[in-house]
Amino acid sequence: MRVVDLKSSRQPSMAVVIPAFKVKAQILEVIESIGEEVKLIIVVDDACPEKSGELVRSKFRNSRVQVIFHEQNLGVGGAVKSGYALAIELGFDIVIKIDGDGQMDTSKILELTRPIMKGSADYTKGNRFFDLQELRRMPKVRILGNLILSFMTKLSSGYWDIFDPTNGFTAIKIEALKRLPLDKISNGFFFESDILFRLNSIKAVVVDVPIDAKYGEEQSNLKILHEIPKFVKGNTKNFFKRLIYSYYLREINIASFELPVGLFFVGFGLLRGVNAWIAASGSGIPTPNGTISLSVLCLIVGIQLLLGFINTDTSSMPKRPLD
């Protein structure tokens, strides 16, 4: 497999992956809107009941558009991973993922990939929350859902400066893609959040790019409020895995001490204080000043240690792109 220097003067080769499921009404327009800077468009028909893949294959009879068919529906993540595998096999430098529902502005592909081409990022993703005027056009339920999911994803992935984790307009450098354990990444809608956790595990640099979404008559397959329980479960699992990997298996640093000791002091202070309050309420005897002081002191020490851990965690995001 050839190795490409993205900092060289040669234009990196780019492929687009489009997962196709119930997007028959928009998929052709999406493909036609993709500029010539993209050398290959991979459409993955994820057992689409509308036979979107058959439609694409009948309309585009050229080598620039290839269609992969799944016999069973794997989910958006499973479809994207099939496209990723083909792009790796064919040796492309950058792989862009867009949805087939027409909500993504394909004219922004070069803008999305610019940080990768400049050598300052391994993975870029769109962020629909930069422009407040455009944000007003987003359905309110999506805004609420994305706020919740964004906070959970910050915790689980360790990328504290990213937002809009369910945004499917992404680009990844092939060197980073090859290092990801694709078989371990979620096949469902949790894919975008899960891949951020995996990217942090390989120390990849992730950059948000402000890109507005387009909202028309299309209906998104993602029902955020329905999916939140799955995201809570997945992000909680990834959060604890990240803590163990980053602070106890791969290295030991001051944060490895601050987290457990801080939790102990906060827990002890709360437990001691609550027990003293219950005892005082039942007996009518005021709680001794020493007991109150001990509880307050433990809480202060514990909170300070946890704030120290958070400061270390937020400052330890990957900053150097992968070679």
Per-residue model confidence (pLDDT) at position 4: 46
Pairing of strands 38-45, 94-97: unpaired
Percent of the chain with pLDDT over 70: 89
CB atoms within 10 A of CB 41: 22
Strands of the 14-20 sheet, one edge to the other = 65-69, 38-45, 14-20, 94-97, 170-173, 123-127, 206-210
Average pLDDT over residues 269-289: 83
Percent of the chain with pLDDT over 90: 71
pLDDT, tens only, 217-246:
555 555 566 677 888 999 999 999 999 999
Structure tokens at 142: 């999506």
Per-residue model confidence (pLDDT) at position 2: 41
Query: Is there a contact between 94 and 174 (Cβ–Cβ < 8 Å)?
Result: yes
Q: How confident is the model at residue 143 (pLDDT cuts 50, 70, 90)?
A: confident
**Cβ neighbours of residue 274 closer than 8 Å, sequence gap 6 or more:** none
Query: Is there a contact between 265 and 305 (Cβ–Cβ < 8 Å)?
Result: yes
Per-residue model confidence (pLDDT) at position 310: 94
For residue 146, with 0-12 CB atoms within 10 Å meaning exposed, 13-18 middle and 19 or more buried, which class applies? buried
Query: Is there a contact between 214 and 126 (Cβ–Cβ < 8 Å)?
Result: no
Query: Is there a contact between 134 and 210 (Cβ–Cβ < 8 Å)?
Result: no
Q: How confident is the model at residue 8 (pLDDT cuts 50, 70, 90)?
A: low
Residue 199 one-letter amino acid: L
CA distances (Å), origin 57, targets 17, 62, 73, 312: 15, 9, 19, 51
Overall size of the chain counted in residues: 323
Query: Is there a contact between 74 and 88 (Cβ–Cβ < 8 Å)?
Result: no
Please state at what angle helix 140-157 crosses helix 191-201, rounded to 10 degrees: 20
